[in-house]
Structure 1
Amino acid sequence: MTSPATGPVAAAIAARLTADLAPSHLDVINDSAHHAGHMGDDGSGESHFTVIVESLAFVGLSRVQRQRLINTALSDLLQTSIHALAIKARAPGE
């Protein structure tokens, strides 16, 4: 089961993606409960996420280019707070 993310890491993810990509749709889902006790679980309850992002910034970009934009926006969080990030990135109308 996934849950909407509401903690400080989730809020930071949402704020950064909103600022950098001006998404028309954004879901930040906390998947950490699925990974409790596994490698990468830091006990914070905020280590594993799925983001679903729709943005005009993705028009004409490949899947890899879209993921790179997201990874760039979250680069320091990926080094310090996020152990795993699943990305679903689409342009409007896809």
Structure 2
Amino acid sequence: MTAAMVEEIRRRLDAALHPSELDVLDEGYKHAGHANEGKGHFHVRIVSPEFAGALPIKRHRMIYAALGELMDSGIHALSIDAKAPD
């Protein structure tokens, strides 16, 4: 399931934020034995012109909005590195 989830995260972020760079990593191995209710741990590194002029909290909210219900149904933890191209 995690490979499919990585691809779904990538697909949604690509469609919504048109990144010039996008890395989505499954970090579930870092949380072995941690109760995660069947959801995954992921890291996103994204560079998008959509983030120009936006504060980090707004960038994170844009990512959460793009991921929609995955934040409730497939993602337990998400670490984010979001930058504008500059």
Q: TM-score, normalised by structure 2?
A: 0.93
**How many residues in Structure 1 have an aligned counterpart in Structure 2?**
85
1:23 corresponds to: 19
Structure with bigger helix share is 2
Does 1 or 2 have the higher relative contact order (CA < 8 Å, sep 6+)? 2
1:48 is aligned to 2:44: no
Alpha-carbon distance in 1 for matches of 2:44, 2:51: 14
Return the match for 1:71 from 52, 61, 64: 64
1:88 partner letter:
D
Structure 1 stretches of 5 or more lacking a match? 1-5
Alpha-carbon distance in 1 for matches of 2:28, 2:37: 7
Alpha-carbon distance in 1 for matches of 2:57, 2:13: 16
CA RMSD of aligned residues (A): 1.3
Cα displacement (A) at 1:75: 2.0
Alpha-carbon distance in 2 for matches of 1:17, 1:51: 10
2:14 partner letter:
T
Q: Which runs of 4+ in 1 moved over 3 A?
A: none
Structure 2 stretches of 5 or more lacking a match? none
